[in-house]
Amino acid sequence: MTVTNATNIGNASCAELLGEARNSYAQAHPLSRAAHTRAARSMPGGNTRSVLHFPPFPFYVERSEGCHIWDIDGHKRVDYLCEYTAGLCGHRHPVILSAINEALERGWVNGAQHEIDGMFAAALCDRFPSLDRVRFCNSGTEANMMALTTSRAVTERPAIMAFKGGYHGGVLLFKDGPSVQNAPFETVMADYNDTEGARKLLTENAGRLAAVILEPMLGSAGCIPAETGFLRMLREECTRHDIMLIFDEVMTSRLAPGGLQEMTGVTPDITTLGKYFGGGFSFGAFGGRADVIDRFDPDRPDALTHAGTFNNNPFTMHAGHAVVTQVYTPGRAATLNASGEVLRKRLQSVADRHAVPLVFSGVGSMICLHISDHPVSSPSCGIHTPEAEAAKSLIHLELLARGFYFAPRGMIALSLPMTKAEHDQLIDAFDDTLHLLAANLTRLATAR
């Protein structure tokens, strides 16, 4: 299932080679194809989560263990997709299994409080500089919706500022502007890492802005870190105008023991969390300054409400507490992210050795591949022609064929069970792929 056997590879376009790679993939996954056909009878396109789809059809999972995932067609792969960063602990981590067993033993539909809820909250507040208080919900999307609606309630202003390329959930997606499916917040759009442009927009709109929301490193737009000066400016202007600065650390909280807020030294008013902190179970949290989040104290006469049947579901509470206190300790966060720094540099040096226009961006354990001949500092950087998109899909399928699963858009995330052996194998597979495709990829830069 690779284009290795295609004739005249060097002269073909990436789009042509992609067609061949898709055919080989389809032939190598007959059982997944059948499962997909069955699923499509009751789910549109066989899909219930858009990001999991890739043409011709995604493989179907048989099981997973450690840092590996097996499909029903019998292929074993190293899981660098890592559940879009939520799989940080790896599959079936023994400490999480025993935390879940405890929840199973003690019952899980209680409609009441458990001591573990407060213990988990305390562990998070100890860990993140901005968290005086925290509240739980079920997803990153929900956490961001709550952070934004809380900001609007507290400031009594209607609008929000978001950044091009920002992703804060299914109803909070910002490309060049808000998606048509977004929650209908009045939104001021600014360019990421454009310090002076964003300062100007902030000043002009200060009177109606409740919140500025951003990821301190753009995640789904390609692991593009914020410049510290940009974050400092946002902190300064939000303080000046009493606007809530919200850091969406749903993904980036994994990049340092106290998240990117700790690494950059810029403390937001509200932080949102999600993904891996639930140990792989549904999870979201929002928290921050005591004077803001204490508005949810039910004993207050001016209390805000926050509902959610599963906010403190025992699986997430037990698993999450185990993750913060036993599994993703500050020491392990440091080691994992250091190994990601090494891997990113190694991937870049393979690309440079083949002289192809590929750039690996990111911080620590999150890495993203871009088709670009320049460093990437905003989502508009890089080559975005249809041929370049085909090249990215082709690299994705070639690496799948060589036993590596990662996000079709180029994102790679590390998990705790990975060792240098898996990284060495990825480097070899990437090198092998570039031996095959170097001529085609080089033309992407010259053809612009």
The number of CA neighbours under 13 Å toward the Cβ of 138 is 8
Choice from 130, 141, 264, 415 touching ligand PMP (CB under 6 A): 141
Site map 255..284 versus ligand PMP, x via CB under 6 A: -------------------x---------x
Specify the residue, 274 or 417, whose C-beta has the smaller distance to ligand PMP.
274
Whole-number Å distance between alpha carbons of 88 and 274: 12
Catalytic residue (one of 248, 269, 328, 405):
248
Q: How far is the CB of 185 from ligand PMP (least distance, A)?
A: 15
Which of 24, 151, 220, 312 binds ligand PMP (CB under 6 A)? It is: 220
Catalytic residue among 275, 276, 328, 392: 275
242 annotated active-site: no
Q: How far is the CB of 33 from ligand PMP (least distance, A)?
A: 27
Whether 167 is catalytic: yes
Q: Where are the beta strands (DSSP E) in 168-283?
A: 187-190, 209-214, 217-218, 224-225, 244-248, 270-274
Angle at 368 between CA 165 and CA 247, to 5 degrees: 45
Residue nearest to ligand PMP (CB): 140
Q: Is 372 a binder of ligand PMP (CB under 6 A)?
A: no
Q: Of residues 318-337, which lie at the interface with ligand PMP (CB under 6 A)?
A: none
Asked if 215 and 251 touch (Cβ cutoff 8 Å), the reply is yes
Nearer Cβ to ligand PMP, position 139 or 337? 139
Let me know if 323 is exposed, middle or buried by CB neighbors in 10 A (0-12, 13-18, 19+).
Answer: buried
Q: Output the DSSP codes for 52-105.
A: G--SS----EEEEEBTEEEETTS-EEEE-SGGGGTTTT-BT-HHHHHHHHHHHH
84 lines the binding site for ligand PMP (CB under 6 A): yes
Give least dist CB 405 to ligand PMP, A: 17
Show the beta-strand stretches assigned E in 249-403: 270-274, 284-288, 358-363, 366-371
Catalytic residue among 25, 60, 80, 167: 167
Total residues at interface with ligand PMP (CB under 6 A)? 16
Unique residue bearing structure tokens 């989560």: 49
For residue 141, give the DSSP letter. Answer: H
Q: How far is the CB of 283 from ligand PMP (least distance, A)?
A: 7
x-or-dash string of contact with ligand PMP, 121-140, rule CB under 6 A: ------------------xx
Cβ at position 314, least distance to ligand PMP in Å: 19
Spatial distance between the Cα atoms of 369 and 411, rounded to a whole number of angstroms: 6
Nearest to 234 by CA among 221, 225, 247: 247
Stretch that binds ligand PMP, among 8-16, 179-187, 195-203, 213-221 (CB under 6 A): 213-221
On whether the CB atoms of residues 373 and 354 are closer than 8 A, the answer is no
Q: Please, is 111 exposed, middle or buried when counting C-beta atoms within 10 Å of its C-beta (0-12, 13-18, 19+)?
A: exposed
Closer CB to ligand PMP, 57 or 167, in the complex: 167
Q: Distance between CA atoms of 56 and 376, rounded to whole angstroms?
A: 29
Residues in CB range of 210: below 8 A, 6 or more apart: 148, 151, 152, 154, 155, 156, 157, 158, 159, 160, 243, 244
Instruction: State in angstroms the smallest separation of the CB of 272 from ligand PMP.
Output: 7
Determine how β-strand 411-413 pairs with β-strand 366-371: antiparallel
Within 145-184, the residues that bind ligand PMP by CB under 6 A are 167-169
Nearer to ligand PMP by Cβ, of 2 and 261: the residue is 261
Closest approach, Cβ 275 to ligand PMP, in A, equals 6
Q: Which of 82, 251, 293, 413 binds ligand PMP (CB under 6 A)?
A: 251
Closest CA to 88 of 279, 339, 334, 344: 279
Question: Shortest Cβ distance from residue 155 to ligand PMP (Å)?
Answer: 22
Is the distance from CB of 397 to CB of 6 less than 8 angstroms?
Answer: no
Give catalytic status of residue 345 as yes or no. no
CB of residue 372 to ligand PMP, shortest distance in Å: 22
- 20: closest CA among 44, 42, 3, 40? 3
433: contact with ligand PMP by CB under 6 A: no
DSSP conformation letters of 248-265: E-TTGGGGSTTHHHHHH-
Q: Which stretch binds ligand PMP (CB under 6 A): 114-122, 243-251, 258-266, 366-374?
A: 243-251
Residues with Cβ within 8 Å of residue 289, at least 6 apart in sequence: 130, 132, 269, 270
Residue (169 or 257) nearer to ligand PMP, CB: 169
Cβ closest to ligand PMP, residue 237 vs residue 248: 248
Tell me which of 20, 71, 117, 215 binds ligand PMP, using CB under 6 A.
Answer: 215
Query: Residues interacting with ligand PMP, by CB under 6 A?
Result: 84, 139-141, 144, 167-169, 215, 219-220, 248, 250-251, 274, 284
Active site residues: 167, 248, 275
